[in-house]
Chains A and B, each alone.
Chain A
Amino acid sequence: MIKKNSKNVKLKRAASTSLTYAILIGVSIVFLFPCLWLILASFSKSGSIYSFDGFFPSEFSFDSFITLFTDTSSSGYNYPKWFLNTLFISVMSCIFSTLLVIATAYTVSRFEFKAKKPLMKTTLVLGMFPSFMGMTAVYILMTQFNLVNSHWGLILIYSCGAPMGYLVQKGFFDTIPTSIYEAARIDGASNAKVFRTITLPLSKPIIVFTALTSFTWPWSDFILPKLLLKEKDMYTVAVGLMNLGETEFSRFAAGAVFIAVPIVILYFFLIKYMISGMTAGAVKE
Chain B
Amino acid sequence: MSTKLSLKSKTKKIGNDVKEKFSKEHMKESFENKKEEVAVKTVYKRDNIKHFFQTANSNVFASMCLMGLGQLMYKQIVKGLIYLSFEILSIVYFVMYGGKAIYNFFTLGLITGDPWLEIAGDNSVVMMLMGILTWFIVVLTIVMYYTNIKDVYNTQIRVLKGGMPEKIGESLAQLADKKFYKTILALPLIGVLIFNVLPIIFMILIAFTDYGGDIVPPELISWVGLENFEKLATLGEIAPTFLKILSWNLLWAFSSTFINYALGLGLAILLNKKCVKGKAIWRGFPILAYAIPGFITLIGFKFMFSVGGPINQIISDAGGDVISFLGIDAKWTARAIGLVVNAWISVPTIMLLTTGILSNMNTDLYEAAEIDGASKRKQFFKITLPFVIFSTTPVLISQFIGNFNNFGIFYFLRGGLTLDGYFLASDTDLLINWLYNLSIDNNYYAIGAAISLVIFIITSAVSLGVYVRSDAYKKEDTFR
Contacts from A to B (Cβ < 8 Å)? 13, 16-17, 20-21, 23-24, 27-28, 30-32, 34-35, 37-38, 49-50, 52-55, 100-101, 103-104, 106-108, 110-111, 113, 117, 120, 123-126, 128-138, 140-141, 144, 156-157, 159-161, 163-164, 167, 170-171, 174, 190-192, 216, 219-220, 222-223, 227, 238, 241-242, 246, 249, 252-253, 256, 259-260, 263-264, 266-268, 271, 274-276, 278-279, 281-285
- In the complex, the answer to whether B176 meets A192 with C-beta atoms within 8 Å is yes
- In the complex, the answer to whether B291 meets A31 with C-beta atoms within 8 Å is no
- In the complex, the answer to whether B405 meets A131 with C-beta atoms within 8 Å is yes
* Interchain nearest-CB distance for A23 vs B (Å): 6
Contacts of B356 in A (CB 8 A): 275-276, 278-279, 283
* Sample of 11 further A-B pairs with CB below 8 A, known A171-B479, A241-B296, A253-B300: A35-B289, A37-B300, A49-B309, A136-B439, A163-B192, A167-B394, A171-B480, A252-B303, A264-B292, A275-B352, A282-B391
In angstroms, Cα B162 to Cα A55, docked, is 85
Contacts of B290 in A (CB 8 A): 267
Residue in contact with A129 in the complex, picked from B287, B357, B452, CB distance below 8 Å: B452
In angstroms, Cα B395 to Cα A274, docked, is 15
Give 19 A-B contacts (CB < 8 Å), ordered by A residue: A20-B270, A21-B276, A32-B285, A111-B180, A117-B478, A120-B479, A124-B479, A132-B405, A134-B200, A135-B440, A136-B440, A140-B129, A191-B176, A266-B291, A275-B352, A276-B356, A282-B392, A283-B360, A285-B360
Give chain B's interface residue range (CB within 8 Å of chain A).
35 or more
Contacts of A278 in B (CB 8 A): 349, 352-353, 356
Residue in contact with B478 in the complex, picked from A101, A120, A274, A282, CB distance below 8 Å: A120
Contacts from B to A (Cβ < 8 Å)? 125-126, 129, 176-178, 180-181, 184-185, 187-188, 191-192, 194-200, 202-203, 206, 267, 270-271, 273, 275-276, 282, 284-297, 299-301, 303-304, 306, 308-310, 313-314, 317, 344, 348-349, 352-353, 355-357, 360, 390-395, 401, 405, 407-408, 432, 435-436, 439-440, 445, 448-449, 452, 455-456, 459-460, 463, 472, 475-476, 478-480
Known contacts A27-B267, A136-B206; A282 and B276 CB within 8 A of each other = no
In angstroms, Cα B183 to Cα A106, docked, is 13
- In the complex, the answer to whether A38 meets B479 with C-beta atoms within 8 Å is no
Contacts of B199 in A (CB 8 A): 133-138, 141
- In the complex, the answer to whether A38 meets B353 with C-beta atoms within 8 Å is no
Residue in contact with B188 in the complex, picked from A31, A163, A220, A241, CB distance below 8 Å: A163
* Interchain nearest-CB distance for A112 vs B (Å): 9
In angstroms, Cα B366 to Cα A170, docked, is 32
- In the complex, the answer to whether B188 meets A130 with C-beta atoms within 8 Å is no
Residue in contact with B296 in the complex, picked from A38, A110, A123, A216, CB distance below 8 Å: A38
Contacts of A129 in B (CB 8 A): 200, 452, 456
Residue in contact with A164 in the complex, picked from B192, B313, B435, CB distance below 8 Å: B192
Contacts of A136 in B (CB 8 A): 199, 202-203, 206, 439-440, 445, 448-449
- In the complex, the answer to whether B129 meets A137 with C-beta atoms within 8 Å is yes
Contacts of B196 in A (CB 8 A): 126, 134, 160-161, 164
* Interchain nearest-CB distance for B260 vs A (Å): 14
- In the complex, the answer to whether B203 meets A49 with C-beta atoms within 8 Å is no
Contacts of B478 in A (CB 8 A): 117, 120
- In the complex, the answer to whether A191 meets B178 with C-beta atoms within 8 Å is yes
- In the complex, the answer to whether B129 meets A141 with C-beta atoms within 8 Å is yes
Residue in contact with B449 in the complex, picked from A133, A219, A274, A285, CB distance below 8 Å: A133
- In the complex, the answer to whether A54 meets B310 with C-beta atoms within 8 Å is yes
Residue in contact with A34 in the complex, picked from B200, B300, B476, CB distance below 8 Å: B300
Contacts of B285 in A (CB 8 A): 27-28, 31-32
Residue among A106, A111, A266 facing the most chain B CB atoms (10 A cut-off)? A111
- In the complex, the answer to whether A133 meets B180 with C-beta atoms within 8 Å is no
In angstroms, Cα B408 to Cα A138, docked, is 20
Known contacts A103-B184, A113-B181, A284-B480; A50 and B200 CB within 8 A of each other = no
* Interchain nearest-CB distance for A180 vs B (Å): 17
Residue among A159, A252, A267, A282 facing the most chain B CB atoms (10 A cut-off)? A282
Contacts of B301 in A (CB 8 A): 34
- In the complex, the answer to whether A279 meets B291 with C-beta atoms within 8 Å is no
In angstroms, Cα B204 to Cα A245, docked, is 37
- In the complex, the answer to whether A144 meets B129 with C-beta atoms within 8 Å is yes
- In the complex, the answer to whether A174 meets B181 with C-beta atoms within 8 Å is no
* Interchain nearest-CB distance for B295 vs A (Å): 5
Residue among B202, B292, B395 facing the most chain A CB atoms (10 A cut-off)? B292
In the complex, residue of chain B having the shortest beta-carbon distance to the beta carbon of A239: B295
Residue in contact with B198 in the complex, picked from A125, A141, A163, CB distance below 8 Å: A141
Contacts of A256 in B (CB 8 A): 292-293, 296, 299-300
In angstroms, Cα B355 to Cα A171, docked, is 18
- In the complex, the answer to whether B459 meets A128 with C-beta atoms within 8 Å is yes
Counting from the closest, the 10 A-B pairs by CB-CB distance are A134-B199, A160-B191, A220-B293, A137-B199, A279-B356, A137-B202, A267-B291, A163-B188, A160-B195, A264-B291
- In the complex, the answer to whether A263 meets B180 with C-beta atoms within 8 Å is no
- In the complex, the answer to whether B200 meets A282 with C-beta atoms within 8 Å is no
Contacts of B432 in A (CB 8 A): 130, 132
* Interchain nearest-CB distance for A227 vs B (Å): 7
Contacts of A134 in B (CB 8 A): 195-196, 198-200, 202-203
Contacts of A242 in B (CB 8 A): 295, 299
- In the complex, the answer to whether B291 meets A192 with C-beta atoms within 8 Å is no
Known contacts A28-B282, A171-B480, A279-B356; A160 and B194 CB within 8 A of each other = yes
- In the complex, the answer to whether A260 meets B292 with C-beta atoms within 8 Å is yes
Contacts of B192 in A (CB 8 A): 123, 160-161, 163-164
Contacts of B407 in A (CB 8 A): 132, 223
- In the complex, the answer to whether A24 meets B195 with C-beta atoms within 8 Å is no
Contacts of B297 in A (CB 8 A): 34
Contacts of A263 in B (CB 8 A): 291-293
- In the complex, the answer to whether B303 meets A133 with C-beta atoms within 8 Å is no
In angstroms, Cα B177 to Cα A110, docked, is 13
